Amino acid sequence: MQRILFAVLISLLLIAPVAAQSDDPYEQLLKELWCPLCNGIRLDVCEQQVCEQMRDLIRQELDAGKTPEEIKAEFVDLYGPVVLGEPPREGFNLLAWVIPVILVVAGLAAAVVLTRRWSAQTAEDEPMAGAVAARAPDIEIDEEDEYLARVEREVNEL
């Protein structure tokens, strides 16, 4: 069960959300490109004159038969990677993609190691030390409140 849970967790981490989708390549391309002058504004909703002209250019080039990939590459060349809204996955900027993955993996690995080690230690120390036994079970009520403790214990022992 632990393994399954963990596998589910990891597979969830591998899922990356993507931008909204559209059937029209023009609309779709506008949703994947970003205003080079503003912070975090997509090309399709940007009101700047420069974006207006960029949209016109995309329309013309699509009509001229260029593929969206070609246009994207051309835009990156012309305006810089800023139009992608994210660092390109090459050279030094690859770090922007690698480090988050390292952080996630390292964090989870540390958590796994910690839980493993802690639970292994307790297994040796069985039966539990007084400090643990003295603690109330899964409740936040006053510890003398026997009544609810019982109700609550039933909840836990369903």
Partner 1 sequence: MADLGYIALLLAMVASAYGVVTSLIGGIRRDELLALSGRNALYAAAGLVTIATVALWYLLIANDFSIDYVASHSERALPLFYRFSALWGGQAGSLLLWGFMLAIYGAVMVSFIWRKEPRRGPYIVAILLAVQFFFLALNVFAANPFDRLWVLPDGSTTGAMFRPEGAALFVPADGSGLNPLLQNYWMVGHPVFLLLGYVGLTLPMAWAVASLISGQLDDGWAKSVRVWVMVPWIFLSIGILMGSQWAYMELGWGGFWAWDPVENASFIPWLTATALIHSIIIQQQRGMLKVWNVVLAFLSFWLVIIGTFITRSGIIDSVHAFALSEVGPLFLGFIIFTFFGFLALVWWRLPDLESDTELDSMLSRESAFLFVNVLFIVAAFVTLFGTIFPIISEAVTGDKIAVGPPWFNKVDGPIFLAILFLMAVGPLLGWRRTSPEMLKRNLAFPVAFAIAIFTLLLMMVTRRWVPLVSWAVSALVVGAIIWEFYRGARSRRKATGESWLTALARVMARNQRRYGGYIVHLGIVFIAVAATTTTSFQHNLKASLQIDESASLAGYTFTFIGLDQEPGPNHTSMVANVLVTKGNETVGVLRPRMNFYSAISGRDQGPTTEVGLHTNLREDVYIVFNGWESNGQLGAFEFFVNPMMLWMWLGGIVLVIGATFALWPIPKSAARRVRAPVVAQPAS
Partner 2 sequence: MSETVTPPSVPDVQPEKRSRGGSALFIGVLALAGLALLAVFYYGVLNPSSQQIRSGAAPDFEITTFDGETIRLSDFRGMPVVVNFWASWCVTCRDEQPILEDAWRRYKGRVMFIGLDYLDQEPNALAYLEEFDVTYPNGPDKGSRAYAAFNVQGVPETFFIDAEGNVQGFHVGPITYQQLEERIQALLSESGS
Residue for token pair 């912070």: 39
Question: What residue spans of the chain are helical by DSSP H?
Answer: 2-13, 25-32, 49-63, 68-79, 95-125, 130-134, 146-156
Binding mask 11-50 for partner 1 (x = CB under 8 A): -xxxxxxxxxx------------x---xxxxx-xxxx---
Please tell me the number of Cα atoms within 13 Å of 101 on its side-chain side: 9
Our finding on whether 79 is near partner 2 (CB under 8 A) is: yes
Our finding on whether 78 is near partner 2 (CB under 8 A) is: yes
Q: Is 76 in contact with 32 (CB distance < 8 Å)?
A: no
CB atoms within 10 A of CB 150: 10
Q: Is 35 in contact with 48 (CB distance < 8 Å)?
A: yes
Distance CA 126, CA 129 (A): 8
Residue 5, binding choice from partner 1, partner 2, none, Cβ under 5 to 8 Å by partner class: partner 1
Residue of the chain from 23, 69, 90, 154 that contacts partner 1 (CB under 8 A): 154
Our finding on whether 146 is near partner 2 (CB under 8 A) is: no
Distance CA 41, CA 71 (A): 19
Residues numbered 35 to 74 that lie near partner 2 (CB under 8 A) are 36-37, 48-50, 52-54, 56-57, 60
Closer CB to partner 2, residue 21 or residue 121? 121
Q: Shortest gap between Cβ of 65 and partner 1 (angstroms)?
A: 24
**Applying CB under 8 A, which part among 56-64, 68-76, 91-99 lies near partner 1?**
91-99
Binding site for partner 2 (CB under 8 A): 36-37, 48-50, 52-54, 56-57, 60, 76-82, 114, 117
